Amino acid sequence: MTNTLQFRRHRRLRSSIEMRSLVRENHLHKDDLIYPLFIIEGEKTKNEVPSMPGVYQISLDYLEDEMKELQSLGVKAVILFGVPKEKDEEGTGAFHDHGIVQEAIREIKNKIPEMLVIADTCLCEFTSHGHCGVIHNGDVANDESLELLANTAVSQAKAGADIIAPSNMMDGFVTAIRTALDEAGYINIPIMSYAVKYASAYYGPFRDAADSTPQFGDRKSYQMDPANRLEALREAESDIEEGADFLIVKPALSYLDIVRDVKNNFNAPVVAYNVSGEYSMVKAAAINGWINEKELVMEKLTSMKRAGADLIITYFAKDVAKWLSE
Ligand code: PBG
Ligand code: ZN
């Protein structure tokens, strides 16, 4: 039979597993993965987060085993969040030299020095009101918060953090933190800025995990409006001008257009934060048997790479590392 019709045969390049591998454009690698950890004060504590099956708040004594597991799976970087016992108005636990995050950094760097430790720099886990800055006259005060955030970053660097990741969304936070780090001698510690962070309902489960739900109001005066795209470029531009070394876009799933915009407009590694709600939705469906978890997660994270992400912060990091080894 001769083919007289004129059209292109796209299916030629999809004809077998090998053919598809040959022409695959984007790949997920273990090197792309950053695993978030919640460190809780106390001993011998390992609490599963109810809304995040498979994610735990762990005490310092579990860290060494956790790092060994990650290492054996090939995950090379973690990002740390603290769950302190005491909170106060100013979130002083965030910048205490023996705060929970500082202790966790020291413990990891002592036991497993090769593990890259990223410190999330914010106040909300440590403030009694749960906001990411200090409160003046009922509002989150920008400039007053900067000094506390800078102190937090310096204390994290002092404890041995490899990368500082400020997530607070105050204006000028990269300048404040870069200046403070440089003055303290940490000129070579990079800043992974949460440059583009939306006020998102996808953070719900994280606030259970980190016990950081705002006690009044919401975060909409400092986190971004989900309807806005150009504003994301302004935010990213400021952070680059102020000296950010990496740009985070958060959440990932509903914001892949923004990941692409940031990738196209700025020459810095782009990090997609696959947040708690994105994790919990998949887990809930998987537990019910409604979706194929492995296929769905691999598809989702590969789509983040395709959108332009160089790195992905994800609660699925361990699973993905396992699947990539199979
Ligand atoms: C707060 C912070 C949040 C996350 C990381 N740091 C969310 C918030 O604004 O409450 C969210 C992470 C996630 O949902 O996985 N500075
Ligand atoms: Zn915060």
Q: Is 250 a catalytic residue?
A: yes
Residue type for position 223: Q
Burial class (CB in 10 A: 0-12, 13-18, 19+), 80: buried
* pLDDT over 80 (residue 246): yes
Closest ligand 1 atom number to CA of residue 315? 15
Residue type for position 285: A
The protein residue with its alpha carbon nearest to ligand 1, atom 1, reads 167
The protein residue with its alpha carbon nearest to ligand 1, atom 5, reads 167
Closest ligand 1 atom number to CA of residue 275? 15
Distance (Å) from CA 9 to ligand 1 centroid? 46
Distance (Å) from CA 132 to ligand 2 centroid? 4
Catalytic residue among 76, 197, 300, 305: 197
Q: Is 30 a catalytic residue?
A: no
pLDDT per residue as tens digits for the range 56-112: 999 999 999 999 999 999 999 999 999 999 999 999 999 999 999 999 999 999 999
Distance of CA 281 to the CA centre of its chain: 17
Q: What is the mean pLDDT of residues 22-34?
A: 98
Beta carbon of 314 within 6 Å of any ligand 1 atom: no
Token representation of residue 113? 């020095």
What's the confidence (pLDDT) of residue 163?
98
Q: What is the mean pLDDT of residues 153-168?
A: 98
Closest ligand 1 atom number to CA of residue 205? 14
Place 4 in a pLDDT band, splitting at 50, 70 and 90: confident
pLDDT per residue as tens digits for the range 274-313: 999 999 999 999 999 999 999 999 999 999 999 999 999 9
Catalytic residue among 76, 87, 250, 300: 250
Place 229 in a pLDDT band, splitting at 50, 70 and 90: very high
